[in-house]
Amino acid sequence: MQNEYRQAIEQYRQKVVTLARYSLRSAADAEDIAQEVFVKLWHHWPSVDADRRLAWLMRVTHNAVIDFTRRRKTKLGVFDEAAEVEEQAGDDDQHGAVETAAIRGDIAAAIRELDDPFRSILVMRDVQGLAYADIEVSLEMNASQVKVYLHRARRKLRQNAQLRQRFDDLD
């Protein structure tokens, strides 16, 4: 059982950490959330079906982030640790359309400013590429609700003045 659990951590760690990281300002807080989530997974191990594990983890992460921000009353504001994302982004710049790492920092900051569930849905779908079915189970929504929230999240992101200015400057 422990081996299977470790495999699950290895398989889903990145998804959990990414969702937490794009929701919180601090990398350390995001890691704490991820740890908490995987400890919960261990506690609930017998009752979490293998084929629903990702959706379960996403739901628990989403709830843990909301809990955390309520407890700490953290303002989900400007992302001032963009360097970490930039550092990780450095290697694969050639694959993306983003010209500079600074843009990624701005986008990450704009994503953090979104309210839930817009932020979680945008990260799960557009950043992590999760299937709609997994998002539906994670957030207990139906397909149309997920799409409506996703489209509204994208519109809200486009309305971010700083981001728009950044892209205008590129043109």
Partner 1 sequence: MTTGHEQSSCYAAQLQIDSFLDGELSNGHEQGFLAHVGGCVECARELRYAQQLHEAVMDLPSVDCGAAFDARVDALIAGREPRSAQGESFIAQGRQRNTSLLESFFDVLRGRGAWSATAMGLCAVVVAVVVTLLATNDGRATRQEAPQIAEAAVERATPATTFDAADVRVALKELNTAIDYLNRVSRQTEEMIGERFVVLPLQQSINGSLRRASFERDADAQGPI
Q: Return d(Cα 41, Cα 49) in angstroms, integer.
A: 11
User: Judged by CB under 8 A, which of 26, 116, 145, 154 binds partner 1?
Assistant: 154
Beta-carbon contacts of residue 85 (< 8 Å; ≥ 6 apart): 21, 101, 104, 105, 108
The minimum distance between CB 90 and partner 1, in angstroms, equals: 9
Instruction: For the segment 2-61, give every residue that binds partner 1 (CB under 8 A).
Output: 6, 9-10, 13-15, 17-18, 21-22, 27, 30-31, 34-35, 38-39, 42-47, 59
Instruction: Kindly tell me the burial class for residue 31, based on how many C-beta atoms sit within 10 Å of its own C-beta (0-12, 13-18, 19 or more).
Output: middle
Residue 107 found at the interface with partner 1 (CB under 8 A): yes
The minimum distance between CB 103 and partner 1, in angstroms, equals: 6
Contact 113, 90 (CB under 8 A): no
Candidate segments 72-80, 113-121, 152-160, binder of partner 1 by CB under 8 A: 152-160
Residue 115 found at the interface with partner 1 (CB under 8 A): no
Q: Return d(Cα 86, Cα 102) in angstroms, integer.
A: 7
Give the number of C-alpha atoms closer than 13 A to the C-alpha of residue 79, restricted to the C-beta side.
Answer: 26
Candidate segments 63-71, 72-80, 113-121, binder of partner 1 by CB under 8 A: 63-71
Long-range contacts of 35-39 (CB under 8 A, 24+ apart): 36/64, 37/61, 37/64, 38/9, 38/13
Candidate segments 72-80, 86-94, 112-120, binder of partner 1 by CB under 8 A: 86-94
User: Judged by CB under 8 A, which of 33, 54, 58, 85 binds partner 1?
Assistant: 85
Residue 141 found at the interface with partner 1 (CB under 8 A): no
